[in-house]
Chain A
Amino acid sequence: MNGDTREQMLEQVALFALGVLPRAEAALVIAFIATDDAARAEYEHLRTAADALALTADEPVDSARTARMKERLMARVRADAGPVGRRGAARRAAPARGWFLGAGLLAAAALVFSLVTVSQDVSLRGDLAAAQRRAATLQTQVAQAERTSARTRDDLTQTLTDLVSPDARHYTVAQGTVVVRGDHLYFALSRLPALPKGHVYQAWTAAKGSAAMQPSVTFTPNGSGVAVVELPVDALKVGTVAVSVEPDGGSKAPTTTPTFVRPLT
C-alpha cells in the first residue's frame, strides 16, 4: 500500500469511527483495522472522540415529559419484573410465611398493583392510549427496517468485535492476517492479487496433527484486493489454514500452488 492509499484508508477509518461510512465500505475498513496496528490505534483514538459527541445531546428535559416517559416505561418494566424482582430483596421475604399465604399475597399484590397502575394511568396520563398506539405504529415501522438490517448488522458486529478484540490471536501472512478468537476463524486479507477470469480463492483447513487439507469456503476479493471471510469451522480444532486459486465453484483438493499456508502456532 503506497503512502497516498494509506492516507486515504486512514481517512476511511475516521469516517467509520464517526459512523458515516456505508456498510459496504465499512467492511473494507474492518479488514484494514484488523491487519494494521497503526490503523487500529487511530481507530481507537478517534472513536473515543466520536463516542464522546453523544454527551452534547445531554440536555434538560422538561419535567412533564420526564414524568410521562418514566411512568410509561416503569409500568412496562414493573409488569415484566413480577413481584419477586420488584424492589429487590425487601420483597423477597414475603414467601417465607408459607407457600399458600405467599402465593395469596403475591396474587393480591399483583391485582392491587395492576389496579393502581391502571388508575394512575387514567388519572395522570390521559394520553397513554394515544402514546401506546403511536409507539405500536413506530415499532411496526422500526421492525420492518430492523428485519432488513439487523441480521447483517449483528453479523458484522460479531466479525468486527472478533477482529479487533484484544484477546484475538493474529497470524500474519503476506496478504494480511488470519484471526482466531475463541472458536471463530477469519481471514482479513487486504493484498490479494486479482483473480484470473473464471476463478475464485478457496480456503483450506487441516485439523491439528493432520496434514490433510479439507476444502472450505470460496471467496472473491473486491477491486482493491480486500476480503474478510469467516471460515465455517471450529477454530479450536484447526491446525493449519491455506488459500489457493481454484476454478469457479471450488475444488475438492488444491489444484494450484497455495497463495499462502499458515500453521496456527
Chain B
Amino acid sequence: MERVRARDDAAFEALYDAYHRLVFGIGLRMLGDPTMAEDVTQTVFLKIWSAPDAFRGGSFVAWVSRVTRNRALDVLRSRSARPESEIPADLPLDGALEDDVFARLDSQRLRDALATLPAEQRSLIEQGFFAGVTHTELAERTATPLGTVKTRIRSGLQRLRRALGEEASQ
C-alpha cells in the first residue's frame, strides 16, 4: 500500500491481481449479478487508488472486504428502500487476527470452519454477512423468532472464532 500511496500503478496492479477475486466474489454474493459485481469491483479499486490513506493499517483483507460490503450495500439501497444496517468500520482492534494469520486462512479453511457450525447458525451468519439485511429481516426471511436469531448469531460467531483460532494455529 505504501507504493500505491506513491502513485505506483505497477504496485496497484499487483494489489488488484491479489485481491480482485475476493472483491468480485463479495460483490457477486451480495448482489447476485456478475455485471453489477464487476462494477462494484471497479468502484472499490478506484477508491483504493484515489484514496489510499483510507486504509489505516490492520488487516487489508478485512478492510477491503468491509469497503466492498459497504459499496454493495449502497447498490442494494439504491434499488429499494431498506433499513440501513451498520457495518463496523476500520477500527483498530487489539485482538484482531493479524495479516499473517489471515494469510494462512484461505477460502477452503474458512469453509471448513463454517462447516463445523450447526446449519441453522451457519445459514443466519452467511445470510447476515452477504445479504446486507438487518437481524429483523433475517428473522422474517427465515420465519425464526427474533430472540432465536440473536442467540444463534452470537453462538455461531463464537463457535466460528474458536474454530478459526484452531485453524490459524495449525
| Cβ–Cβ < 8 Å partners of B39 in chain A | 131, 134-135, 138
Say if the beta carbon of B1 comes within 8 Å of chain A. Answer: no
| B107→A58 contact, CB < 8 A | yes
**Of B34, B65, B136, B151, the contact of A54 (CB 8 Å cutoff):** B65
| A20→B161 contact, CB < 8 A | no
**Of A10, A50, A74, A142, the contact of B13 (CB 8 Å cutoff):** A74
Chain A, residues 112-143, CB within 8 Å of chain B (1/0): the string is 00000000000000000001001100110110
Min Cβ gap B99→A in Å is 12
| B69→A65 contact, CB < 8 A | no
| B69→A76 contact, CB < 8 A | no
**Of A13, A48, A74, A82, the contact of B93 (CB 8 Å cutoff):** A48
Say if the beta carbon of A85 comes within 8 Å of chain B. Answer: yes
Bound complex: CA A13 to CA B136 (Å) = 15
- Residues in B123-151 with C-beta less than 8 Å from chain A: 125-126, 128-130, 133-136, 138, 150-151
B163: nearest chain-A partner, CB-CB: A49
**Of A13, A47, A59, A81, the contact of B21 (CB 8 Å cutoff):** A59
**Of B12, B46, B83, the contact of A22 (CB 8 Å cutoff):** B83
Q: How many residues of A contact B (CB 8 A)?
A: 72
Say if the beta carbon of A103 comes within 8 Å of chain B. Answer: no
Say if the beta carbon of B87 comes within 8 Å of chain A. Answer: yes
B72: nearest chain-A partner, CB-CB: A142
Instruction: Please judge, given known A-B contacts A16-B86, A51-B62, A53-B110, whether A65 and B105 are in contact too, CB under 8 Å.
Output: no
Q: A44-B96, A72-B42, A144-B78 are in contact. List 17 more A-B contacts (CB 8 A).
A: A15-B153, A19-B88, A20-B134, A21-B85, A21-B134, A26-B86, A47-B93, A52-B160, A54-B69, A57-B25, A61-B24, A69-B20, A73-B45, A85-B8, A88-B10, A145-B78, A164-B91
| Cβ–Cβ < 8 Å partners of B105 in chain A | 52, 55
Chain A, residues 138-158, CB within 8 Å of chain B (1/0): the string is 110110111001000100110
- Inter-chain contact count A-B, CB under 8 Å? 243
| Cβ–Cβ < 8 Å partners of A57 in chain B | 22, 25-26, 28-29, 107, 130
Min Cβ gap A237→B in Å is 25
Interface of A is mostly: helix
| B20→A70 contact, CB < 8 A | yes
| A19→B86 contact, CB < 8 A | yes
Say if the beta carbon of A191 comes within 8 Å of chain B. Answer: no
Instruction: Please judge, given known A-B contacts A22-B85, A66-B20, whether A88 and B8 are in contact too, CB under 8 Å.
Output: yes
| Cβ–Cβ < 8 Å partners of B96 in chain A | 44, 47-48, 51
| Cβ–Cβ < 8 Å partners of A76 in chain B | 42, 46
Say if the beta carbon of B116 comes within 8 Å of chain A. Answer: no
| Cβ–Cβ < 8 Å partners of A26 in chain B | 86
| B75→A142 contact, CB < 8 A | yes
Say if the beta carbon of A46 comes within 8 Å of chain B. Answer: yes
User: Can you name 27 A-B pairs with beta carbons within 8 Å?
Assistant: A11-B153, A11-B154, A14-B150, A15-B153, A15-B154, A19-B69, A19-B86, A19-B87, A20-B135, A22-B86, A23-B85, A45-B158, A51-B59, A51-B61, A52-B102, A52-B160, A55-B105, A57-B26, A58-B107, A66-B20, A77-B49, A134-B35, A141-B79, A145-B77, A160-B88, A160-B91, A161-B91
Bound complex: CA A133 to CA B146 (Å) = 42
| Cβ–Cβ < 8 Å partners of A88 in chain B | 3, 8, 10-11
| A78→B9 contact, CB < 8 A | yes
Say if the beta carbon of A17 comes within 8 Å of chain B. Answer: yes
